[in-house]
Structure 1
Amino acid sequence: MSGSAALNVAVLDDYQHVAPSLADWASLQPQANTVFFHDHVSDADALAARLAPFDAVVLMRERTRFDANLLARLPRLKLIVSVGMWNAAIDLDAAKSRGIVVSGTTGGDAAATPALTWSLILAATRNLYGEAASLRAGGWQTRVGMDVNGKTLGVLGLGRIGEAVARIGVAFGMRVIAWSQNLSSERAAEVGVQRVEKDELFREADVLTIHLKLGDRTKGLVGARELGLMKPGAYLVNTSRGPIVSEDALIEALQERRIGGAALDVFDEEPLAAGHPFRFLPNVLATPHIGYVTENTYHVAYPQIVEAIRAWIDGAPIRQL
């Protein structure tokens, strides 16, 4: 990619105002000028208007959706760079048909999401948010926490992240069971856990934690029927993707207290709407999709983003999705 006029690069959804300091964006000059956006725009018309002047767009994971309709409204766009080598928010076929290069980044901290998962498990089962809120308000103890040792951890999806979460469960003295469509008993045994059937996973888990990739087979996989199998005191934890769980069914189960509670880092629509029930239900611990938001991940991702933009400018795109 070459030309006399400077290219315009948009960096979207820099919520923490950190992207400018994490890479050498100046190295792209004079061929490219970079603009950083720290807010989130979900309205399609407003987003298309904002991005109309840009030749390249940088996405922090799946914070903003780039579907075929949006891509068709951005005739100037020729490059998308996303954090990670997989992004369900980008219509890759539509991008390819329009000649838009899509590049990604590798690396990051593989322990980040498992660490947050266990932070949520322990915080939910010991009611840390409620107890801390009571202390700040001048109160004291409000509930009796649940011990995790001796309890059953159900792991839905035993890939890289699920395996890390499962091994920590074993270290905590939990019985760990797992299921996914392709999981074999041999693979589960390698991790030191037991493969069970799907319904058994939901019936027996005291904590059910989700670690599947979102796709046609997993969207809505956890619905009213599955939630109805869970123990009344069990907790559901989701640090994977919101649409894997039926949001309406989960809200109903929580409102009716048919399960003990939920700890959620991911949602159907992000950012979460101001009046959404997950913001105020007393048996929900919600965090704003921070599973991958760590220093190590960002320090790897942003320099690779600049590298990918430079490679595209030089006519040799790298790490194409």
Structure 2
Amino acid sequence: MKILVADKISSIGVDFLKQQEGFEVVEAYGTFKEDYSKFLELAKGAAAIIVRSDSKVNREVFEAAAPTLKAVGRAGVGVDNIDAEAATDYGVVVMNTPGGNTIATAELTFTHMLCGARPVAQAAQSMREGRWDRKIYGGSELFKKTLGVCGMGRIGAEVAKRAKAFGMTVLAYDPYLSATKAEAMGVKQVELDKLFRESDYITVHMPLTDATRGMINKDAISTMKDGVRLFNCARGGIIDEDALLEGLESGKVAAAGLDVYTSEPPAEDHPFRSQKNLNLTPHLGASTEEAQESVGLEIAESVTSVLRGGGIRNAINMPSLDEATLKTVGPYLELCSALGSLVHQLALEKVSKVKITYSGKVVDLDANSLTRGILKGFLKDVSSNVNFVNALVIMERLGLPVDVLKSSEETDYVELIKVEAECVNGEKVSAEGTLIGKGNTPRIVAINGREVEVEPHGCMLVIANSDELGIVGKIGNIIGKDGVNIAAMSLSRNEVGGIALNIACLDSEPSAQAIAEIKAIEAIKQAKIVHL
């Protein structure tokens, strides 16, 4: 499998990849910018592409690398340079390394805060120019000041921890931060407008989204304290650059520090470069030896795990599946795929809706992963590119709603998964399954509400017929004459003389003529070949 390392990562990460059996590591640093056509050629046949921030993995790259591309790894946090929508369309998992540069970015943020409080950079420059300007480079203390942290993820939490050590009061805004966690961290959880009004220092640690773009703008700055200090070591664009410039020039903002920008690098004549109360660094958040080694090795390990069929860590376009979770849900995935596929194949009309019900112990498992497994099976005959990454998206684009229910009702099984498809004509098709025995063997235990016991493998002949004498013998005779062996058979009926269900597991597929003969039997209501 070819691994295209498009941007330079730590040699530790590259060496790890080279040590993996069956991997061909292609180092193509700078190729994206220097020779885009060559980059597209290198992408062809790649199983994985690893980037930092220089190379862009756009839709054209995904198209060039399809269908072999399975993973794109970002050695860093931000994934602005990766088209996640295109990745999902092509069934490619996108992963980043949010933990590897946490300390480096938190420390850089605090460096900017300290330099915003004490004009160290400006004073150092004056010394280099031969001056001794003690009186004009006075500053302020962090002690007893209020820091507002926007975003309490890994980095925001580390910044808050350091601020507490400096004797600062920390206000935190994060829609996903629980009150319990905020209390444990010693921070006060507030709404954004309160954070703006009461903070002496404000730092942002959020991804760049439609909701966070320009979050700190002219109106927001107008509500802040006079002399507020602003810092951004997260993503360019969260702080509106024109509003920040206006605030700095008016004195509303006493100082600021930026490591990231709306456009990188900023133009040589960008007005930021001439602001004396603004400290600028060239996107150094992860630029420590320790961070680069960490993210390089982490993304190499993550990509390897995906290509080897192991856990999926830090995925941004699907739920992450660590090794422990994968070990738990893994035995169910084959069953889920079989249930989805069986229901789709048994539906005689176009499906308008899918309903999935989890009962028993299975309700405690990762339902998202199980649901993706079911939809992957359901769609396997619809799309040749369907997988766990894009199954939900394909269903959405087909206009097929998926209802997922966790039921507390008792069943005959310790755990049960039921998949039901509603067709446009109102008819419903369903299949139920569970795992049995110490080996967690998948079993289909009901079809259309009738009890069966079928191992979901290979070729199956599903027959619905009037409950009459001799039907099984007639079916067996036709299949035997066709040279097809019946490996197993499961029979069920709703009532004596009602409709019977006959599932025959076959060693090979019967001929079209044999199927026609079976369908010609007067008692046969439906005969369908299913492949699982």
Q: TM-score range by the shorter chain?
A: 0.7 to 0.9
Counterpart residue identity of residue 113, structure 1: T
**Do 2:12 and 2:296's aligned partners in 1 also have CA atoms closer than 8 Å?**
no
- SS of 1:260's partner is strand
- Alignment match of 2:199 (pick from 193, 201, 205): 205
| Residue in 2 that maps onto 1:66 | 57
Distance (whole Å) between structure 2 residues aligned to residue 85 and residue 109 of structure 1 = 8
Q: What is the CA distance between 1:291 and its match in structure 2?
A: 1.7
In 2, Cα distance between equivalents of 1:306 and 1:172? 37
Q: Please tell me the residue identity of whatever aligns with 2:209.
A: G
- Structure 1 residues 246 and 39: alpha-carbon distance in aligned structure 2, compared to 1, 3 A threshold: farther
Q: Which residue of 2 aligns with 1:112?
A: 104
Would the alpha carbon gap of residues 270 and 39 (structure 1) be closer, same or farther in structure 2, given more than 3 Å must change? farther
1:138 aligns with 2:130: yes
2 CA distance for matches of 1:298 and 1:208?
27
Residue aligned with 2:209, SS: coil
Aligned match of 2:182: 188
Q: Aligned residue for 1:9?
A: 4
Q: 1:33 to 1:114 in 2, by over 3 A?
A: closer
User: C-alpha separation between the residues in 1 aligned to 2:219 and 2:58?
Assistant: 31
Say which SS state the counterpart of residue 126 (structure 2) adopts.
helix
Distance change (3 Å), C-alpha of 1:318 and 1:293: farther
Alignment of 1:86-165 (within 5 A): 87-105=79-97, 107-141=99-133, 142-165=136-159
Provide the rounded CA distance (Å) in 2 between the counterparts of 1:315 and 1:188. 38
Change (3 A) 1:276 1:195: same
Gaps of 5+ in 2: 316-532
Query: Is residue 14–residue 300 contact of structure 2 (8 Å, CA) maintained in 1?
Result: yes
Alpha-carbon deviation of 1:226? 0.7
Q: CA deviation at 1:238?
A: 0.9
CA distance in 2, matches of 1:31, 1:161: 33
Partner of 1:254: 248
Q: 2: distance between equivalents of 1:276 and 1:52?
A: 33
Q: Which shifted more, 168-177 or 233-242?
A: 168-177
RMSD: 3.1
Q: CA deviation at 1:127?
A: 0.5
Deviations 1:211-252 (A, max 9, x none): 223223222211111111222321101111112222222222
Shift of 1:38: 5.0
d(CA) in 2 for partners of 1:150, 1:261: 18
Q: Once the two structures are superposed, what CA deviation does each residue of 1:271-313 show, in whole Å capped at 9, x if it has no partner?
A: 333332333322211112222222222223323444455566x
Instruction: Name the SS of the counterpart of 1:208 in structure 2.
Output: strand
Note the C-alpha offset of 1:40.
7.8
Give 1:89 deviation, angstroms.
Answer: 3.1
1:4 corresponding residue in structure 2? none
Cα distance in 1 between the residues matched to 2:96 and 2:155: 20
Aligned to 1:51: 39
Letter in 1 for 2:267: A
Query: Larger Cα Rg: Structure 1 or Structure 2?
Result: 2
Higher strand content, 1 or 2: 2
Structure 2 residue identity aligned to 1:151? K
Aligned mates of 1:266, 1:247 — CA distance in 2: 11
Q: Which residue of 2 aligns with 1:34?
A: 26
Are the structure 2 counterparts of residues 187 and 283 from structure 1 closer, same or farther at C-alpha, using a change threshold of 3 Å?
Answer: same
Ranges in structure 1 where 5+ consecutive residues have no aligned partner: 2-6
Higher relative contact order structure (alpha carbons within 8 Å, sequence separation ≥ 6): 1
How many residues matched? 306
C-alpha distance in structure 2 between counterparts of 1:281 and 1:51, whole Å: 39
Partner of 2:14: 23
Query: Percent of counterpart pairs with the same letter?
Result: 32
* 8 A contact 1:155–1:162 mirrored in 2: yes
Shift of 1:99: 4.5
What amino acid does structure 2 have at the position aligned with 1:222? I
What is the TM-score normalised by the length of structure 1? 0.81
Q: 1:10 to 1:157 in 2, by over 3 A?
A: closer
Q: CA deviation at 1:49?
A: 2.2
- Rounded to whole Å, the distance in 1 between the matches of 2:98 and 2:147 is 30
| 1:21-59 deviation line (CA, Å, top 9, x unaligned) | 653154369852422425883xxxx66324112135321
Which residue does the alignment assign to 1:242? 236
- C-alpha distance in 2, partners of 1:221/1:181? 14
Distance 1:279 1:50 in 2: 36
2-side partners of 1:249 and 1:281: how far apart? Answer: 14
- Distance (Å, rounded) in 1 between the aligned partners of 2:3 and 2:172: 47
> Is residue 225 of structure 1 aligned with residue 213 of structure 2?
no
Work out the CA distance in 1 between the residues paired with 2:191 and 2:277.
Answer: 28
Alpha-carbon deviation of 1:126?
0.2
User: C-alpha separation between the residues in 2 aligned to 1:273 and 1:76?
Assistant: 39
AA of the residue aligned to 2:58:
D
Kept in 2, the 8 Å contact 1:107–1:297? The answer is no
Change (3 A) 1:192 1:235: same
**CA distance, structure 2, for counterparts of residue 103 and residue 199 of structure 1:** 33
